């Protein structure tokens, strides 16, 4: 970081360390789950390290960072709300529930026995086999987080060293060890069986451990826990004065009213809750909890978590001021945690509003991309049609020139053939009427004539290549090839545009989904006053709704879907046999380029002087 502050991975690593993030594989779904063992009051989405990580990350990494940050934020919020809502635990039992074959372990049975003993002694114990049954359908991690933070004692059970190193088991005791560093009141007790304590994980070897096979194990464990978690001492009987009796009766009446008010509040009977909170204050005017209950009922909430979710500032309520005025240190800490949670909620809402503005800008950009892509496809389609017409014209001209060249070759070949026929007739006519010397001279002449004819074939080939018709033919061929290259480029351009449109369509779907979620979260409550109190920001609900309607893209996804479904079909172009071929000279090995006109003559002369004869094979 000191050498290069622009490394997104470094900022992201610091963020994960700050929030104590660890990824654990869920044994049921095989998916990575986010766990946090360093809770923070502020939102992870506004953390400076997160902002810097997004700033320097590429698009793929930014998407991953945002996804994980949302998971961290959800775990943090759920955990904080549960910490406020759930009663604290005394003991947390850490053990492995099932083995690799999904059978219940002996560790689980031992944990069950310890759980029963401690429950009978009046302790509140977190034992996942029992505790988690009441949480069916809920995510477990926030409750584990809350239990780890509230428990004073963790009991780690292991009949095998590997069980103590199991993923979830290790995750729990490592997090508790981390909490022990900041809270010396927390203690960890190790219970083992069937193995040497030296085989334990090294982090646990230094802690006090009990052998489960010991005959005094249960009593020793219970005594140890009683030393850590003090039970209220029983008060001795004594004679009370009338003043003491009256005070006790008043306190008892206030406590009863407070208890009944709490019951009405939990049943959402807000009217009776406010009545009984008032009765409590009539007998005990400085009861902070009664003022807090009145405020909770006034906001139509049942828990502190509901107040945080509501996101309404508490600073201006007289009930809040009185609650803080008469609160004990622990009560002030509780109320402060709620107000901090509300501030975080408001901060998140402003972040969501800003997200919505960015999403609307992105929607506009995608709409422009759509228009540009549609225009590109339309113009390319017209361009291709024009090139196809041009190609058709060139092919017609090629057919005409090809026929002319073929006729010219046929005429020359016919002339040469007639010369050969006349020479043979002359030789046959002489026959035996001439002397041997004359016959010999005639054959020599005929041989020279044959060579002459062969030379004529070579000259014919050269003549054809240099003719106007042949040059025109190759000019048309070149033009044809160029048109085909342009058509291929146009086809590729349309394919690329279609790929871009498909990507745009996916982006629009994601943007619309996120936009709808943001609008639901933001418009679900009235945050106009909230934002102005804490941040000096005013939001006009009517303008926000009108902007949302203008930025809505309900028809955009449909337009994209229809456009992408229209596949641009490019006609195939058949070039026939116009492309040249190559043969190898048997004398020197040189490659000789030939075409159908040279093939029609049946011969070609190499630069080395070798004349090559071949037959023209019609592909049809």
Give me the CATH number covering residue 127. Answer: 3.40.50.10140
For 302, residues 6+ apart whose C-beta sits below 8 A from its C-beta are 265, 266, 268, 296
Say if residue 473 is in the same domain as residue 531: yes
492 phi-psi bin (left φ>0, alpha ψ -120 to 50, beta other): alpha
Q: Which tokens in the block code for residue 301?
A: 């909430």
Q: What is the pLDDT of residue 126?
A: 93
In a domain, 184, yes or no: yes
> d(Cα 171, Cα 37) in Å, to the nearest integer?
10
In a domain, 576, yes or no: no
CATH number for the domain spanning 273: value is 1.25.40
Structural domain of residue 281, as residue ranges?
A: 249-327
The tens digit of pLDDT for each residue in 33-63 reads 777 766 665 678 888 888 888 888 887 888 8
Say if residue 389 is in the same domain as residue 515: yes
In a domain, 234, yes or no: no
> d(Cα 105, Cα 197) in Å, to the nearest integer?
20
Q: Which residue has the higher pLDDT, 86 or 65?
A: 65
Say if residue 54 is in the same domain as residue 92: no
The tens digit of pLDDT for each residue in 394-415 reads 888 878 877 887 787 777 778 7
Instruction: Kindly report the backbone phi and psi dihedral angles of residue 147, in degrees, each rounded to the nearest multiple of 5, phi listed first.
Output: -65, -40
Instruction: Report DSSP state, residue 607.
Output: T
Segment 527-541 mean pLDDT: 43
pTM over 0.75: no
3-class secondary structure, 189: strand
Model confidence at 441: pLDDT above 60: no
Residue 425, classified by CB atoms within 10 Å of its CB into exposed (0-12), middle (13-18) or buried (19+), is exposed
Say if residue 44 is in the same domain as residue 131: no
Say if residue 286 is in the same domain as residue 220: no
> d(Cα 292, Cα 297) in Å, to the nearest integer?
9
Looking at 193, 228, 263, the residue that finishes a domain is 228
In a domain, 343, yes or no: no
Nearest to 298 by CA among 331, 265, 327: 265
Contact between 20 and 40 (Cβ < 8 Å): no
> d(Cα 160, Cα 404) in Å, to the nearest integer?
96
Q: How many angstroms from the chain centroid is the CA of residue 143?
A: 27
Q: Which tokens in the block code for residue 264?
A: 């009405």
Nearest to 1 by CA among 22, 17, 19, 24: 17
Say if residue 368 is in the same domain as residue 476: yes
Say if residue 128 is in the same domain as residue 220: yes
In a domain, 237, yes or no: no
In a domain, 571, yes or no: no
Say if residue 209 is in the same domain as residue 300: no
Q: How many angstroms from the chain centroid is the CA of residue 95?
A: 34
The tens digit of pLDDT for each residue in 177-192 reads 988 888 888 999 999 9
Alpha helices for 239-328 (secondary structure H): 242-266, 270-283, 288-298, 304-310, 318-325
Say if residue 61 is in the same domain as residue 122: no
Segment 317-322 mean pLDDT: 91
Q: How many angstroms from the chain centroid is the CA of residue 609?
A: 70
In a domain, 352, yes or no: no
Handedness of CA 343, 348, 352, 354 (dihedral sign): positive
Say if residue 462 is in the same domain as residue 556: yes
Q: Do the bridges between strand 581-584 and strand 591-594 make them parallel or antiparallel, or are there none, so unpaired?
A: antiparallel
Domain count, the chain: 5
Model confidence at 507: pLDDT above 90: no
Say if residue 543 is in the same domain as residue 457: yes
In a domain, 285, yes or no: yes
- What confidence category does residue 6 fall into, taking pLDDT thresholds of 50, 70 and 90? confident
Q: Which tokens in the block code for residue 564?
A: 């992408």
Give the Cβ contact number of residue 490 at 10 Å: 18
Contact between 37 and 27 (Cβ < 8 Å): no
User: CA distances (Å), 362 to each of 353, 377, 512, 527, in order?
Assistant: 14, 22, 10, 24
Q: What is the pLDDT of residue 156?
A: 96
Which of 69-73, 307-311, 432-436 is least confident?
Answer: 432-436
For the chain, what percent of residues have pLDDT higher than 90? 17
Say if residue 371 is in the same domain as residue 438: yes
């Amino acid at each position: 970081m000191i050498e290069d502050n622009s490394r997104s991975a470094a900022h992201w690593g610091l963020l994960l360390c700050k929030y104590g993030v660890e990824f654990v594989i869920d044994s049921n779904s095989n998916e990575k789950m986010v766990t946090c063992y360093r809770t923070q009051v502020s939102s992870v989405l506004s953390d400076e390290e997160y902002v810097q990580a997004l700033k320097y990350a590429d698009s793929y990494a930014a998407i991953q960072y945002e996804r994980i940050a949302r998971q961290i934020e959800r775990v943090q919020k759920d955990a904080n709300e549960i910490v406020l809502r759930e009663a604290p635990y005394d003991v947390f039992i850490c053990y492995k529930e099932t083995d690799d074959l999904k059978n219940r372990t002996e560790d689980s049975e031992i944990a069950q026995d310890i759980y029963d003993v401690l429950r009978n002694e009046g302790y509140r114990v977190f034992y996942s086999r029992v505790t988690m049954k009441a949480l069916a359908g809920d995510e477990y991690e926030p409750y584990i987080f809350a239990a780890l933070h509230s428990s004073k004692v963790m009991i780690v059970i292991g009949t095998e060293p590997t069980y103590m190193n199991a993923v979830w088991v290790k995750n729990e005791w490592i997090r508790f060890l981390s909490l022990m560093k900041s809270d010396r009141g927390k203690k960890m007790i190790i219970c083992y069986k069937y193995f040497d304590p030296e085989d334990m994980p090294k982090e646990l070897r230094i802690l006090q451990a009990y052998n489960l096979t010991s005959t005094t194990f249960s009593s020793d464990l219970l005594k140890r826990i009683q030393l850590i978690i003090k039970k209220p001492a029983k008060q001795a009987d004594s004679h009370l004065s009338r003043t003491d009796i009256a005070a006790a009766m008043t306190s008892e009446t206030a406590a009863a009213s407070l208890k009944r008010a709490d019951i009405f509040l939990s049943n959402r009977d807000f009217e009776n809750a406010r009545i009984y909170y008032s009765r409590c204050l009539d007998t005990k005017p400085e009861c902070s909890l009664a003022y807090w209950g009145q405020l909770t009922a006034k906001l139509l909430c049942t828990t502190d978590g509901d107040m945080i979710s509501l996101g309404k500032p508490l600073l201006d309520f007289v009930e809040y001021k009185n609650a803080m005025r008469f609160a004990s240190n622990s009560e002030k800490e509780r109320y402060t945690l709620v107000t901090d949670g509300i501030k975080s909620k408001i901060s998140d809402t402003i972040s969501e509003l800003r997200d919505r503005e960015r999403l609307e800008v992105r929607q506009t950009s995608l709409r422009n991309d759509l228009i540009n892509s549609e225009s590109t496809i339309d113009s390319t389609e017209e361009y291709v049609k024009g090139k196809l017409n041009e190609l058709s014209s060139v092919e017609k001209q090629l057919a005409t020139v090809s026929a002319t060249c073929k006729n010219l070759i046929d005429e020359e070949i016919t002339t040469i053939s007639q010369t050969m026929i006349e020479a043979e007739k002359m030789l046959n006519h002489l026959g035996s009427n001439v002397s041997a010397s004359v016959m010999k001279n005639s054959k020599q002449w005929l041989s020279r004539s044959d060579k002459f004819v062969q030379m004529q074939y070579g000259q014919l080939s050269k003549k054809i290549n240099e003719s106007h018709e042949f040059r025109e033919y190759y000019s048309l061929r070149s033009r044809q090839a160029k048109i085909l290259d342009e058509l291929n480029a146009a086809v590729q351009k349309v394919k690329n545009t279609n790929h871009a449109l498909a990507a745009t369509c996916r982006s629009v779907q994601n943007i619309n989904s996120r936009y709808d979620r943001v609008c639901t979260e933001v418009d679900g409550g009235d945050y106009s006053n909230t934002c102005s109190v804490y941040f000096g920001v005013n939001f006009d609900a009517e303008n926000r709704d009108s902007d949302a309607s203008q930025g809505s893209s309900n028809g955009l996804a449909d337009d994209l879907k229809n456009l992408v479904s229209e596949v641009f079909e490019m006609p195939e172009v058949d070039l026939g046999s116009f492309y040249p071929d190559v043969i190898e000279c048997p004398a020197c090995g040189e490659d000789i380029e030939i075409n159908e006109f040279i093939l029609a003559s049946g011969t070609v002369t190499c630069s080395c002087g070798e004349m090559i004869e071949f037959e023209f094979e019609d592909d049809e």
